[in-house]
Structures are given as structure tokens and as C-alpha cells.
Structure 1
């Protein structure tokens, strides 16, 4: 085996270098004297020697580098998973002052297979030899509390567990705790528990493993690399095939209603014998998905899975938790009347503060943050105020108080927020409404989809305005303000109109690719030659048929090739498995936009210089100058329209190119004193080419990358005070310091789906 190639390819390289050395030496000997031949042979030999040394070193390095095994990679991923969820626990302040304990009982028998079926499943073909001594005697033995969830999973014969509960019952935090507990007990080389939210899975379009592979690669970049010995197989799939993943799938209820039954069927189909599984879901939606009724009959169930249901928190547990988080004796005394009401199940507080979500919100709203004094905080007695006479009213009050609490000024400069609490709250309310009403009810806040919150014509009009201003200034500096003004209006119209109709990429770009099609090449050349021939025939009346036709064909061919060159340029869309975080993805897409614009500018400048050289003096002061320029303008409009059509659709490209070409010809022919001043040689051609390339590049960048439309939408929404000017920084702060958002690959999500829904209700569908 040889170094980085994994084969004997360097041997062929060395043989090729030796043959090349001999051939060069022979040629040098034949055409030169001995000294020249010796010099050439020596130089080639030196290059060959350096290459041979490098290849030998690479081979030795490849031999000495140990290839990681599946068990070693699993150990590496286990460390990354542990670090990630430990950081998440700290960010969510789960242990402040301690993890609120939850308890559970066996799930409704109508929702899970009977216990005897689980025992038979664990003893079926393909399953490992069972250790029956660890098995629980029945579902009743699964009841417990938060410090024994890993032990409960180990007592299920199949190693598969369904965790049910009401909204805010603590399912996600219990899943996080399960992952950390399993990692603490994990033996080297054993399965790695991986917690993944289910909200982004569409079982109608994607197999479970295809989706899960993408999600794992989002969270752990090491899993994207190819595993040794399996061409094209990622480490994620290799570990899955080796049975070294234990999926912990959170939020089955977050999948849209009609697809939940398909999701359960997809889970049953994808799981192989011996593979464990943990799934969390709300009790009501799961019951509806399996079709179970009160008589114990139902439809498809999660195969081989035992079930537990989280119980409401005990009033004493909540009271002790809130006292511990009060921040001192004086604050604990303020909680007295509130906590006294918890023991009454008929009281709104006794009905509300029975879930970890609501108890945690009460702690955040009325308790001090780390490093914050307990003075000057809201009085928890507000919970007993007028108007809070129902559970819904208390929940809305706590949700309303959450954002002002996490954004209130902090005495530590390191934790101070650069945004006013009222502004931050307004922006987050708008984003929640956008996700709920404009983005189809998704929980993923993806920056490249923000354009749907702005008018459709915004990007096109913005591109037209920018192209007009930039092109007008550039041409005006070289050819005068009058010509610059006309060119600005022309470019704004030419490239603003098609940008309105161009499609929007559904994924951000990670770079550029050049893949011109044969049809595009033929179309570009034919259109260019046709336009050039037409212009050359007309120009022939003034400069002679040979010069006119020759110059026109040359110019048309160059323009057609230039259109094909930039028309074959396109983005390499980012695969979800390669998305690391929102900021990285935004930077890649922004670079792709910049490079597209630069490619158009350079091509336009080169074509403009060629046009200036071919047209220099060819029709100056001619009586037919107006006719010539109108014809040339129309031909140029066809070529420009074709170039735009190759990028964003033929119809909008030609629709803008034809009138723009006519306008160009009329401007050149009718502007006083400028019969042929639009292209006065090199300067005019270069100015027009650069300006046209810039305008076309802006339109192409808007159609092929997401950054341009995102920037236009962000600017529009900031002007209307719907979002901050520094949106990326605001979202990062909401995730890293406020705990309002969480990161899911290249997207953000609200920390709680209930919080998103509540804020969306405040925004309303027309916000």
C-alpha cells in the first residue's frame, strides 16, 4: 500500500518521470550541444529525484499511519457527544440549582406491545444472546424517577423504550440525562447514544437512515469522512452498520400529524435486530398516531418497545425547587404565599406548575441568574394577581415574562446584552410568527429561507437599483455623467426585471462549479454570430462589407463565447451533511455570491475591451450611425438576454434583453454629440463591459446563491424594525447567552416548541 493513494499509483508516477527524463534528454541531445543536453538532463533528474523522495516519504507516512477502527471512531464520537450535551445542560441551566426530578409509570398498555412479546423479540434470530437476569419481570417494574432512567432502559428486554408525556413534562431533558448516563456507563468500543430531534424528518420522502445519517453528520464532522475499506461509505453509515449507534429520537409528535403513523412504520422497518432505540413523544399525538382507543385495540405500534409515561410533578418537589432557586432568605419568603397554593389541585398554580417547563420558567422569571443580585427582581406574588384565574392564563403569563427576564440588564459586563429587551422581544415574536405562518409551521430557523418574509420583488428591485448605481457611476467616470446616467437606467432595468422572476435556491451554496452544456455552447455561439452578422452588415454601409462583416462576426463570436462561459457557471449547493453551523454556511454562500459577480465582471470587461477594439472608429461620424447603433444594441440585447436566460430562465432573460438592447441603441444614437461615443475605443468598451458584467453578475448571484436575497430581506425587515441590523449576532447571542434558541446544524430552533407557538400567537398570521 502506498501513502495517501492506497494503491501503487506512485510507482507509475516514478516510471513516468523516468521515461520523461529519457525523452527530454534524447531531444536535447539531438537539437543542442552536449552542455545544453547535460543541463536539461540534470534539471529533469533533480525534479524527478525530489518527486521520488516526496513520494517515498508519503508512502512511509501512509504505512505508519494507523487506520482507525470502528470501535476507535465510536470512542471518539462518544467523547464529542458527551461534551456537546454537557455544554447544553450548562447553557440551559438544567442544574441551577439542580435537575428537577421527574418520575414515571408504565405507559398505557394499549400503546405498547405486551411484555411477553418483548421477551420473544429479544430472543429472536439475529439478536445477541440475552442476559435474562437483567430483565424486569413486567412493565410495572419500570416505574422510577430521574436518577434511574439508564437502569430502566437496561431492564427492557429489547433495549427499546418509548417515553411519553404531556407538553413540558420534561421528555427532552430526561433524554439528555439518559444520553449522559449511558455515556458514563459505556464500555470502550460500545454503542454510542446519539440524541437527534425528529422534527426535520419527513417519512413520506426520506428513509429513516438517510435522514439520520445527515443529522449525525451535521452534529459531528468526523462522521462525514469515508471509512477505510468501504468506498464512498461515511463513518456514520459504517458505525450504523456495525451496530454502534443507539438512536435517541426526540419529539415524534413534532412531525406533522398525517405523517406520524408513517414515521412509526418507518422506524419499525429501519431497525435491525439487536439495535436499541429511545423515542419521546406527547401522549395524545402518539395515541392518535397508533390509532389506539380506550378498549385496547389500535393500529401500528413501535415494534419491540416498552413504554413509560412521565407523571406530573409533586407540589412538594416544585416548592423545594423554587425555594432553592430563590437566591436568599428574603426571596424565599416572597415565595411563601405562592407555594402554599401549589398544594391545592384546583388552584391555577396547582394546575400549572406541575411540569418541569413551567417550573423552570417560574425560576427564570422570578429567580436571579448566576452572578446577579436577588434585589430588584419581579415579585413572585404576581402569580397570584388578578386575571391569572386559569391554567392557560398562568402559562401565558410565564411565557410573556421569559424573554424580558433573559434580556434584562446584567451587572456583569461580560453578560450585558447590546439590545434592549423590548426590541429583542419584538424581533423574536416576529421570527416565531414567520416560522409558524410563512415557513409552513417548521421549527427550523434557516437564514437562507428568510426571503419568504419579504416581498418577492424586493431582491429584483434591489439588484436593479444596485446594478444601476454601480454601472452608472463606473461608466460616468469614464464617459461622462450623461452617458453614465443613461447606462445606469439601462442596467437597472435590464437586470432588475429578470431577477424578479428568477428562481430561489432551496439550499445555500458552498462554492462554484463550471459545467457548460453542449446546447448552451451552441446557442451562445449561434446567437452571438447572428447578432454580429446583423450588426456587421449594417456597419458595412459605412466601413465596407468585408470590414463590417468581419468585425461583426468577431465581436459576435466573442460575445457568444463569453455568454456561454458565464452561463455555465453555477453554484455547488451545500449538502446538509456538510453544514457545520449557521455562520460557516453563511460565509460559504457569501463567497460563492462574490465569486459569481467577479466572474461576470472579468468576462464583461474582457468582452468590452474586445468590442472597443473592433468598433474603434469603424462607424465614427457616419450618417447611418443611429441605425448602426440601434442594430448593434438589439444584437447585444439578444446576447445579453441569452446570457441571463442561461442563468435564470430563457423567457425573463430575453424579455429584459430585447428592450434593453433597443434602449442601448437609441441612447447611443440619439444622445446629442455622442453618435458613437458609447464605445470610443478601449476606454468605452472596457467601461461598458465592466458595468454590464457587474449588473449581470448581481442578477446571477441573486438567482444562484441565497446570500443576496437574505441580505435584501434582512435589510428590508431591519428598515421596518422587524429584525435587528446585526441579525447573525443577535441569533448567536440568543443561542449562546440567553438560552432562547438552540442550534440544529446550520439552523436555529426555539428552545421550546411551546415558546415558539406562544410567540407566534402574539405575532398573528398577518404580522
Structure 2
């Protein structure tokens, strides 16, 4: 059956050598089928979770209605190929016909999928005002496309592309080709596309036409780049494309460039009857007099402030969240308090956090007071707004990526915080190791001396190395690497200057108290690892975790484990050899043997767990069918580097004992055996270095600073996860986002006094929220 179908494809392409073409197409289809099916499953999981976050999958949801946009935002309908003349860029999807011009006049959710699947140009733009439901409509369209793909016959399913959705905020169309950027985004969200093999796999899917792309947030990139983005998409997008943006911003950009061949559909405001039905559906019948008054006002007075306010899904959802079934919702009809729609919207936004953190019947008490939540979310929104003024910032202006939260504080301050934290961590780690191996017999003065010594010789260079590597790489995230010889030379000079400064300071500290070779080797190794991983992968794509997985017989898994353990071993051996010579412990031959044993110990100890978990292996298409959430990514990253640090320290300790046969670290007291000293000291050093190398380190230090400076929750990630569960935030893969850009912008505009204001926790009454005054 596949041979016959392949022959059809070959004949349609106009080729004559059908035997050769048949074999080629069948082979390519077979290679891609499994990958696209697994990606479809992963994408469905990702966006079903997002739809649940937005409460889009309830049995009763708000309708989606649209019409062809009348604003000058796109070219003529004929350019989309809806006429019968000319060739189509894309064939209609399974069981659909090419979209005719009349079908673009207006429609609903089902019609939207028919337009998406039937446009010969394959280019669709969905526009609307703030809060009109563009992203929600796109999510529902994406899920509809996946459902139709799943229901298609096996012989035809692989013709239907898998839709993937990304936000445009991190794209620079002037320097990064759109497909290269999309491949990077795929690698960031799905493990199967990481590494060189994964990126090649993603590129093959694009070439084979297996992917459709939904792009949100054209209005979120800098205004001068929007026309350039439309031009780049017009020239480079060889895939089905759905673009989401606000109408006004697209109209301004379209004065210079339009998305050639696109049809623009505008989402229509909600009808008063739709809003009234949605609000009354979950209530008892008959509803309270307050809710009946609101429903009557909506359906009877179209020009009232309330009717004009409740025209978007965002505002209707806010009203449902803020007011309980017994709340005095009819206060919104008071035109003296709410003379215009904006006053109602601001009122609902002001009380959204209080409503979310009000105790509810049958649920645990909130961990955070509404005032704490309001202050913390306002602080985050304001920091994201500051990042909007710096387009090169990794977070853009909408994504709360926890591994770059440290970028919200000045570089010098985060360097100081990292150094102080690393000194405390290293001192305590070695102090506890010394107490443990000595059976708590160590004299206090000797113990404090050891803690202080290691905090300076290990903690200071470690914290400095990580902070400097972070400072060098964070500005590059989301931006292209330097182009041209002069840019690369400047980058080399910057890195060299930072390395020279770090090593110089480490030498100075080490000479002052002794053990400067340890300081230099610690700084060099930690900086090299941190800078190498972050600069090469732009942060998000480097998030890894320890998860036992399949394909243990894979040669790639074994080679990755061997190469990664060798990398650690060579680093330890190289710096250890230099330190061995500096300390005058032996001649060159003895030093080289010390380094060689360090390499062997690393391979023996580190390689097996990496092989078992596949933590640093390009994941195959069948390994991961779910995107990792923020909390899972946070925990996985910490576990990985904690274990890696422990294993590396164990390898270093064994090597030290084999080389010296005497105490090396000097922890504990005189009764501690050389083996115990080397093992405990090596593991302590490895654990401290491993924790500091993790992505969670800089974020943890920033959390502590925020808690001390702004009285935010000390465990900020747990707070963000709690806000997500209360529908104030949403998640896209490992990233948090505000529930809606309007909500984020409202908080960002809050006066500084609002951050410090403490809101009174409303009293509970029959398990309901107290309505706002």
C-alpha cells in the first residue's frame, strides 16, 4: 500500500524515474512517521495542559466567532490562492477542500479549522484587540488540528503536519533565519530535538513538510522589527503558518510589509447573550437577584459600561473568578462608581489576586496572604517590563524563565551575592564533612579555621566563576552569536579579560592565605563548564535531568557517557596536574600520573550513571512525549548537578588517596585516616562545586536577595507554582507566564506603594469569597 501511495507522490512531482522515487519517498516517510507521531503526542500534552490552565476545556466554553479583517493588514484574497486559477502552495488537508473566498466572510470555531486546512497559501493571520482571545483561539485550533490528524487514516496521517506554537518575543528577524530560530525553540521545549542529532531531525521535519507553525506575539517584539519579521516570514516560511497579533500593531507594521499570501481573520467581540449564558451556567436556577440583574443588564442594555466591558473572554473570566455565586456582583451596575468600561476592567484586575488567594471551602488554606502575592507578582511584572526595554534580555517581556531570574538584578550585585553564597556553602560543606569523619571531635578553633580556609579557596573562586560566566552569557541569550571576525575578536577579548580577572583574584586570595593552586583550578574548571554549557545552548535547551530511560544498548548513549566523563576527568586531571607541580609534591612524571589517574577515576565512577540515565544524550524520538514543566525542570536540574558533583568529588578523592596515601584536605582531626580524609574532602568539594554549577544556583541566590529586599517568598519557585495552580499564571513548557498580557501590564503599571500595600484577607462565609468592596 505504501509503494502505491509513494508512486502517487512521485508522479505528482513530475519525475519520470518512478522506481527510484518510490523507494526514496517510502524510506523518508518511514523515517519520519514515528518522529511526527511522537511530536504530535508531546504537543497535545503540552497544549492540553495550557488549555486547562486557561479553562478552555470545560464542558461549556465561550464561543469563537470571526470575520475577515477589514483593516489594511494583509494583501488581497487572491494572493492567498483561494481562486481556482494557478497552483496551490499547499494541498488541502485530509477530508477538506480548498477554501473559497466566500468561506472567509465569517464563521466559528469549526470554520476556523476549515480555513486553516484549506488555504492554498497555507498562511493565516488571526488578529484582535487586547484580551480578545487570540491565543485561546489558536490553542483550540491547534488541538482541533491534532485531533483531525489522529483521526485520519494511517496511510494519510503522515501528510498532515504537526502544529507547534511559539512566541516571537525571542526572535531577531534581521540576523536569525526563521527556521534556525524555530529549531532552537523546538530543542528548548522537546528533548527529542536537543543536540546535533536532534537539530538535524528537526531540520528534516521542516524539509519534509511535517510541521505547521503557530507564532504568537508579533506585537511583543520591538516595533522596528515587526515589518522585518513580516518580510522574513514572507520570504522564508515554507511551512503552514498561523500568525497571532493585535490588530493595531499589525496595521502599523503592514504599512511597510505584509505577510504575503496571508488571509487575516479578526476575532469578533462576545455577544451580550454569550457572556450572560456563560456567567449563569454554573449557578443554581434561579440565580440570585444580583446575578439576574447583571444578566438582564447585559442582554437589555448594550451601551451600558458593563456590557461594553464584557466583550472579551478575559474580562468575562475575571468577573467569574472575582465574584462568588452569592457575591454582590450587581455593584458593577453602579455607574457612579464605574462610569466607563475601563473602570470595571481595572476593578476586576485589582481584585484578581485577592480572589485567587481567598480561602475556599474544602481546600487547604493558601500558603501566602493576598498582600504577599500581590507584592511578589507586581515585582515580577515590573522586572519583565524593564526587560522589554532590553530586547536582548533572555526573558523577553512575557516569559518568566526561572533560570534567568538573576538577570533582574545588576551584574555587580549578583556577582557579590553569588560569591558570598558560595563561600557560605563551601565552608559549611567542608565543615560538616570534617565533623562527620572525626566523630565530632574537632576542636572549635580548628574547625572554624578549616571552614574559613575552604570558603575562601573554594567558595570565592567558584561563586566568582559562575557569576562571571552568567554575566557573559545572559546578554547573548535569545540573540544570535557574534558575526564577523571583529565581533568574534571582541568576544574573545571579553572572555579573556574575565578569565584573567578571575584567575588573578583567585591567585591573590590564595597567596594571602595559602592554597592558591586550589583557587585557580576551581575557578578555571567551573568557569569553563558554566560558560561552555550556557553560551552554546542559550540556557533553556541545556536543562537536563536524571531520568532512567530506554535504549541502554544505544552506542550513542555509551559514547556520550564516555565523552562527558572524559571531559570532567581531563578537566580535573589538567588542573590537578598543575596544582600537583605547584605544590612541589613530585616531579613531572608523578604529576602526569596524578592527572592520568584522575581521568581513569572519572571514567570509572562518572560514566556508568550517565549511561544509565542518558542525562547528556540526544534523546530519541520515542523517549519523551511530554514537555517538562517549570517545577520539574527546576528539580531535575538540581538533582543532576548534585549527583554529578558528588560523583566528581568521589573520583577526585579516590585519585588523591591513590596519589598521596596521606591526608590531603586536612579536615577533621589527627585521628582521621588518609582514605577518610580524601574521600570526605573530595565529596565535599564536588558537592559544593556541583550545586554551584547548577542553573538553580543563581536563581536561589536571587530568591534570597528578593526575600530580604522586597519581602517576597523565600521559595519563589514554589510561589510561582502556587500562583499557577490558582490560575494567575500559566505554563508553556518550563516557562511561567502571566495569565494574560493585560494582567501583567496592569501590575507593571502599579505604583511602588502598591508593592508594599498589605491587603486584608477576606473572611470566609459558607466557603465563598467575600466580594470586593
Q: TM-score range by the shorter chain?
A: 0.5 to 0.7
Instruction: Provide the C-alpha distance between the structure 2 equivalents of 1:766 and 1:566, rounded to a whole number of angstroms.
Output: 57
Partner of 1:714: 703
Q: CA deviation at 1:169?
A: 0.8
1:208 aligns with 2:172: no
Bigger RCO (CA 8 Å, 6+ sep) = 2
Instruction: Provide the C-alpha distance between the structure 2 equivalents of 1:147 and 1:128, rounded to a whole number of angstroms.
Output: 20
Which secondary structure state, in structure 2, belongs to the residue aligned with residue 212 of structure 1?
A: helix
1:531 aligns with 2:583: yes
The one of 415, 418, 423 equivalent to 1:464 is 423
Q: CA deviation at 1:613?
A: 4.8
Please say if residues 163 and 308 of structure 1, whose CA atoms lie closer than 8 Å, have aligned partners that are also in contact. Answer: yes
The one of 379, 384, 406 equivalent to 1:451 is 406
Q: CA deviation at 1:288?
A: 2.2
Partner of 1:757: 745
The one of 350, 369, 372 equivalent to 1:400 is 350
Please say if residues 39 and 162 of structure 2, whose CA atoms lie closer than 8 Å, have aligned partners that are also in contact. Answer: no
Please say if residues 610 and 685 of structure 1, whose CA atoms lie closer than 8 Å, have aligned partners that are also in contact. Answer: no
Partner of 1:58: none
The 10-residue stretch of structure 1 (574-583 or 107-116) with the greater mean CA deviation from structure 2: 574-583
The 10-residue stretch of structure 1 (518-527 or 146-155) with the greater mean CA deviation from structure 2: 518-527
The one of 349, 368, 372 equivalent to 2:306 is 349
Instruction: Provide the C-alpha distance between the structure 2 equivalents of 1:692 and 1:766, rounded to a whole number of angstroms.
Output: 49
CA deviations on 1:623-663 (whole Å, 9 max, x unpaired) are xxxxxxxxxxxxx9xxx9xxxxxxxxxxxxxxxxxxxxxxx
Q: CA deviation at 1:262?
A: 2.8
CA deviations on 1:362-410 (whole Å, 9 max, x unpaired) are 122225xxxxxx33x3534246375433443322211122222233323
Partner of 1:493: 456
Instruction: Provide the C-alpha distance between the structure 1 equivalents of 2:84 and 2:680, rounded to a whole number of angstroms.
Output: 71
CA deviations on 1:537-576 (whole Å, 9 max, x unpaired) are xxxxxxxxxxxxx6x8898777777899999999988999
Partner of 2:261: 304
- Could you list the runs of 5+ residues in structure 1 that have no partner in the other structure? 1-65, 293-298, 368-373, 534-549, 616-635, 641-676
1:314 aligns with 2:271: yes
Cα 1:183/1:123, change in 2 over 3 Å: farther
Partner of 1:510: 544
Which secondary structure state, in structure 2, belongs to the residue aligned with residue 108 of structure 1?
A: coil
Q: CA deviation at 1:727?
A: 4.3
Please say if residues 601 and 689 of structure 1, whose CA atoms lie closer than 8 Å, have aligned partners that are also in contact. Answer: no
Cα 1:327/1:81, change in 2 over 3 Å: farther
The 10-residue stretch of structure 1 (161-170 or 76-85) with the greater mean CA deviation from structure 2: 76-85
Partner of 2:61: 99
Which secondary structure state, in structure 1, belongs to the residue aligned with residue 381 of structure 2?
A: helix
Please say if residues 122 and 130 of structure 1, whose CA atoms lie closer than 8 Å, have aligned partners that are also in contact. Answer: no
Q: CA deviation at 1:260?
A: 2.2
Instruction: Provide the C-alpha distance between the structure 1 equivalents of 2:743 and 2:662, rounded to a whole number of angstroms.
Output: 66
Please say if residues 529 and 553 of structure 1, whose CA atoms lie closer than 8 Å, have aligned partners that are also in contact. Answer: yes
Cα 1:762/1:254, change in 2 over 3 Å: same
Q: CA deviation at 1:286?
A: 1.2
1:142 aligns with 2:97: no
Instruction: Provide the C-alpha distance between the structure 2 equivalents of 1:740 and 1:395, rounded to a whole number of angstroms.
Output: 16
Instruction: Provide the C-alpha distance between the structure 1 equivalents of 2:598 and 2:751, rounded to a whole number of angstroms.
Output: 46
Please say if residues 650 and 686 of structure 2, whose CA atoms lie closer than 8 Å, have aligned partners that are also in contact. Answer: no
- Could you list the runs of 5+ residues in structure 2 that have no partner in the other structure? 1-27, 388-392, 471-529, 546-563, 756-773
The one of 242, 246, 250 equivalent to 2:216 is 250
Partner of 1:592: 640
Q: CA deviation at 1:530?
A: 4.1
Instruction: Provide the C-alpha distance between the structure 2 equivalents of 1:728 and 1:522, rounded to a whole number of angstroms.
Output: 37
The one of 376, 393, 408 equivalent to 1:427 is 376
Which secondary structure state, in structure 2, belongs to the residue aligned with residue 110 of structure 1?
A: coil
Partner of 2:167: 198
Partner of 2:735: 747
CA deviations on 1:440-473 (whole Å, 9 max, x unpaired) are 6432222222334564122221221232233345
Q: CA deviation at 1:339?
A: 5.2
Which secondary structure state, in structure 2, belongs to the residue aligned with residue 762 of structure 1?
A: coil
Q: CA deviation at 1:223?
A: 6.7
Q: CA deviation at 1:165?
A: 0.7
Q: CA deviation at 1:604?
A: 5.7
Cα 1:280/1:417, change in 2 over 3 Å: same
The one of 284, 296, 319 equivalent to 2:248 is 284
1:536-615 equivalent positions in 2, closer than 5 A: 580-599=628-647, 601-602=649-650, 605-606=653-654, 609=657, 613=661
1:28-107 equivalent positions in 2, closer than 5 A: 70-71=32-33, 74=36, 77-78=39-40, 81-82=43-44, 84-94=46-56, 98-107=60-69
Partner of 1:48: none
Cα 1:563/1:154, change in 2 over 3 Å: closer
CA deviations on 1:255-306 (whole Å, 9 max, x unpaired) are 333332232223223333xx4322111011112222x2xxxxxx22112111
Instruction: Provide the C-alpha distance between the structure 2 equivalents of 1:383 and 1:208, rounded to a whole number of angstroms.
Output: 49
Instruction: Provide the C-alpha distance between the structure 2 equivalents of 1:100 and 1:85, rounded to a whole number of angstroms.
Output: 18
Say how many residue pairs are matched. Answer: 603
Please say if residues 248 and 278 of structure 1, whose CA atoms lie closer than 8 Å, have aligned partners that are also in contact. Answer: yes
Please say if residues 233 and 259 of structure 2, whose CA atoms lie closer than 8 Å, have aligned partners that are also in contact. Answer: yes
The one of 87, 98, 121 equivalent to 1:158 is 121
CA deviations on 1:463-486 (whole Å, 9 max, x unpaired) are 212322333454464653322221
Cα 1:566/1:200, change in 2 over 3 Å: farther
Instruction: Provide the C-alpha distance between the structure 1 equivalents of 2:344 and 2:378, rounded to a whole number of angstroms.
Output: 19
Which secondary structure state, in structure 2, belongs to the residue aligned with residue 163 of structure 1?
A: strand
Instruction: Provide the C-alpha distance between the structure 2 equivalents of 1:749 and 1:384, rounded to a whole number of angstroms.
Output: 33
TM-score normalised to the size of structure 1? 0.66
Instruction: Provide the C-alpha distance between the structure 2 equivalents of 1:765 and 1:215, rounded to a whole number of angstroms.
Output: 38
Cα 1:235/1:687, change in 2 over 3 Å: closer
Please say if residues 715 and 725 of structure 1, whose CA atoms lie closer than 8 Å, have aligned partners that are also in contact. Answer: yes
Which secondary structure state, in structure 2, belongs to the residue aligned with residue 683 of structure 1?
A: coil
TM-score normalised to the size of structure 2? 0.66
Which secondary structure state, in structure 2, belongs to the residue aligned with residue 277 of structure 1?
A: strand
Instruction: Provide the C-alpha distance between the structure 2 equivalents of 1:71 and 1:566, rounded to a whole number of angstroms.
Output: 42
Please say if residues 605 and 693 of structure 1, whose CA atoms lie closer than 8 Å, have aligned partners that are also in contact. Answer: yes
1:265 aligns with 2:223: no
